[in-house]
Amino acid sequence: MKAAVFHKPGSPLTIEDVGISKPGPREVLVRTVAVGMCHSDLHIVDGMLPYPGPLVLGHEAAGIVEAVGSDVRTVKPGDHVVTCLSVYCGHCAHCLTGQMTLCESPETQRGAKEESRLSYLQKPIPQFVNLSSYAEQMLVHEHALVAIRRDMPLDRAALIGCAVTTGAGAAINTSGVRPGDTVAVIGCGGIGLSAINGAALAGAGRIIAIDMVDSKLELSKTFGATDVINPKNGDPVQQVLELTKGGVQHAIECIGLKQTAEQAFAMLTRGGSATIVGVIKPGIKLELDPLALLQGQRRIQGSRMGSNRFPVDIPMLVDFYMQGRLKLDEMISQRIKLEQINEGFDELRRGELARSVIVFDQ
């Protein structure tokens, strides 16, 4: 199959032939239809997150099931599916207590003595976050995907596999936004826009979008933002405090910078929570006001993939889209071919677009 191969940081990805195995007992072979381009992949391409090559990146995908293993019970050939990197075993302590995104069971991957799912130049290569979706096909554990209704457009469904599940989930699941709450979202890329949409779905009374790009702020209003702030016009924390007369109950950081993470905590009202979604460079330490933490009972927390229960959440989000309540069409800035993937990464670096989606020929 054709795939975009990452070799080393700073070098463009190359379109090459990559070998793919046949489904094992609990594995599913999927023909990739669409895959979104995410900053998590860019962090590896640019060397911020160290990862050895060669490697096939990509993790935000939708496709059609081509074949299933003998023990697969959740999907069948012909099903339309969305993948999710938070693959789960289903019976560890995390899974049984509803924290499926924290599952670390190795049984969802092939063992060291088994044939690798992917190979390059006839040598085994690792699979990126259980998916490796910048390719014409994916071979995954059955708990790395979920079937969806067939009238859902797959180029839009792909976004639900990461950006939407992560952003909307950060608001609904991790932050626990309730009707009437006040929310600030820092960063209006794909994940930030999804967090805004998720806060709106949860019934937030006021949603403040914060970004340096005016066009993204304007777009955020379509997703549910009631107020917008551009840090170019002054300290965003001070702007939020003045706008809300004391701070927000929930701040969701979707960029991944020390400064913005600290700002998220600083703009909280008493009892508020700051949820960090953006990937901060390893080794960076955050500085927080201890009095605000203790006396104000403010909290700071991480959110992995929106604390999702994706077999339930993804079909629900698909329904929200079909009802017109989840905005996906507006999030797609451009559709490109796999051969244009390096151009897509250039757009990610510029930070001017919401989401680029790679669409495979059908």
Which of the 8 DSSP states describes residue 293? H
CA trace torsion 154, 155, 156, 158 (10° rounding): 80
Distance CA 322, CA 362 (A): 23
Which of the 8 DSSP states describes residue 295? T
Active site residue 7: no
Q: How far is CA 8 from the centre of its chain?
A: 23
Distance CA 167, CA 304 (A): 10
Active site residue 89: no
Contacts 24+ apart (CB under 8 A), 257-262: 258/284, 258/285, 258/286, 260/186, 260/187, 261/286, 261/300, 262/286, 262/287, 262/288
Residue 247: Cβ-neighbour burial (10 angstroms; 0-12, 13-18, 19+): buried
Q: Where are the beta strands (DSSP E) in 212-293?
A: 227-229, 248-253, 268-276
Q: Which residue in 162, 175, 188, 220 is the catalytic one?
A: 162
Active site residue 38: yes
Q: How far is CA 16 from the centre of its chain?
A: 26
User: Residue 307: CB partners within 8 Å, gap ≥ 6?
Assistant: 99, 101, 169, 170, 173, 174
Tokens of residue 60, six digits: 């935000």
Q: Which residue in 39, 59, 80, 143 is the catalytic one?
A: 59
Active site residue 43: yes
Identify whether the C-beta of residue 251 lies closer than 8 Å to the C-beta of residue 275.
yes
Question: Which value, in Å, is the radius of gyration of the alpha carbons in the chain?
Answer: 20
Distance CA 35, CA 53 (A): 20
Active site residue 162: yes
Q: Which residue in 7, 39, 40, 119 is the catalytic one?
A: 40
**Residues identified as active-site:** 38, 40, 43, 59, 162
